[in-house]
Amino acid sequence: MLAWLVAAPLTLGAQAPSPAPLRLSFADAVRLASGEVPVVALATLRASEADARVRQARAALLPSLSLGGSWVNRTFNSKSLGIDFSFPLPGGGTATLPDLIGPFNLYDARFSATQTLFDWSSIRHVRAAGAQADGSRAERGVTVEASVLTAAVAYVRAVRAQAVIGARQADSAIAAELVGLAEAQRAAGVSPAIEVTRARAQLATAQGLLLVAKNQLDRGRIDVTRALGLDPATPLAFLDSLAPSLGAADVPAQRDSGLAAALANRPELRAEQARAAAARQTGSAIRAERLPKLQVAADYGVNGRTVPQAIATRDIALQVSVPILDGFRREARLDEQNAVVRESQVREADLRRQIAAEVDAALLDLGSAEAQEVVAREQLRLAESELSQARERFKAGVAGNIDVITAQAGLIRARDTEIDARFAAATARISLARAAGVARTLH
């Protein structure tokens, strides 16, 4: 009775229903990776920061308004003004102001406004900030493409592991059948005991490979959850398999068309072009600092020694400032921006060559993988036929099971080769989409 009470909670806990797995298709993984993962969220925030900097730069061209008020109770030394306040009296003699004046109150309330009428440098700085914001948005696109690539490859690896499990389960079923056949023939006295031992060894090998495949699938699930920003403990059910359509995207099949699409779509190239544009605009803004700046400023308010006695006062000013010399700091800043532009041009030229190389490599990989698929399917057909013939010969008692075991090992290799060929084709399609800058269109 005591043993039952101890075991009961364990039994009940074991029967607790596990959470339903998250049904995830390849298209779902691409969608999540392109918009809901932490790296993309951070890139979106950086783009928002760049947009905010544009508004900050534009503030130099917009009106500035302020409202203020003050109350002062003060005293001061009349001698500190440097003027001898003395004046003659009507009856003769002179009078002077006392050294200490006050205390007295002073109330002041004022509304002030300034507006830039002409500042070409600020206009250029706004344009430079806009180019930097374009670069930040392009950098977000780079992050999205990389995130989609990581998630897509992780998904394909997981479904490859799933396909390997199916192959190992089929191998185990064949090995179990061979064990039963060997035991039956031994019992009938037509087969030696070593045939049973060989069959059991093959079954143990197949079961061990099945355990390895299951571990690879579990690791693949963890990689997918990490790529999608999910809890690693989230159970997943993959809805796609290594079909010929897995990893397809809107990419032209011809090399020239694919390269043109890549040069138009790759966010890395747009980001580099935006950095060069921002450097040119910043250089223009620095040169524009030599031009005059025109501003108007005004304020209106009331002040007085008491609030009822306060009177209205105002002033308005038109200010012109012309920079002449700043210790050649401006020229050094301009040289810096010119160097940044030349550096960006070098990077852009190298990036164009890199994009062309990636497109060519992806097309080569895809062509090779598709050819390997054809060969692997034929190898698998022949291996299945060889195993079938070896089993028939063993059943008929005209050959030992060593031929069956050899044929089964060949079938295992053929299945792995066929799965690897399909996996290579899927990853090549994904790589081609990434090279063309359209990884977000994977489906």
For residue 349, what are its two tokens? 């030229």
For the domain that residue 44 is a member of, what is the CATH number?
1.20.1600.10
Assess if residue 76 is contained within a domain.
no
Assess if residue 87 is contained within a domain.
no
The pTM of the full predicted model, rounded to 2 decimals, is: 0.81
pLDDT at 175: 82
Query: How many angstroms from the chain centroid is the CA of residue 29?
Result: 14
Strand partners, 22: 236
Assess if residue 173 is contained within a domain.
yes
pLDDT digits (tens, 9 = 90+) for 303-356: 988 888 889 999 999 999 988 888 888 899 999 999 999 999 999 999 999 999
Beta-strand pair 86-88/236-238 = unpaired
8-state DSSP, 248: -
pLDDT at 9: 42
For residue 379, what are its two tokens? 């190898």
Assess if residue 310 is contained within a domain.
no
- Residue 399: count other Cβ atoms within 10 Å of its Cβ: 15
Domain extent at residue 124? 21-67+118-291+331-441
pLDDT at 346: 95
Helix (H/G/I), strand (E/B), else coil: 322 = coil
- Helix ranges (H only) for 79-119 are none
Assess if residue 92 is contained within a domain.
no
Domain count, the chain: 1
Residue among 267, 237, 265 at smallest CA distance from 251: 265
Assess if residue 134 is contained within a domain.
yes
Point out the residues of the chain with pLDDT beneath 70: 1-18, 92, 190-191, 397-401
What is the overall mean pLDDT for the chain? 87
Query: How many angstroms from the chain centroid is the CA of residue 42?
Result: 8
CA distance 122 to 61: 7
pLDDT at 190: 66
Strand partners, 68: 110
Assess if residue 418 is contained within a domain.
yes
Assess if residue 145 is contained within a domain.
yes
8-state DSSP, 95: E
CB-neighbour burial class of residue 24 (10 A; exposed 0-12, middle 13-18, buried 19+) = buried
Residue among 72, 71, 73, 69 at smallest CA distance from 110: 69
For residue 415, what are its two tokens? 């299945």
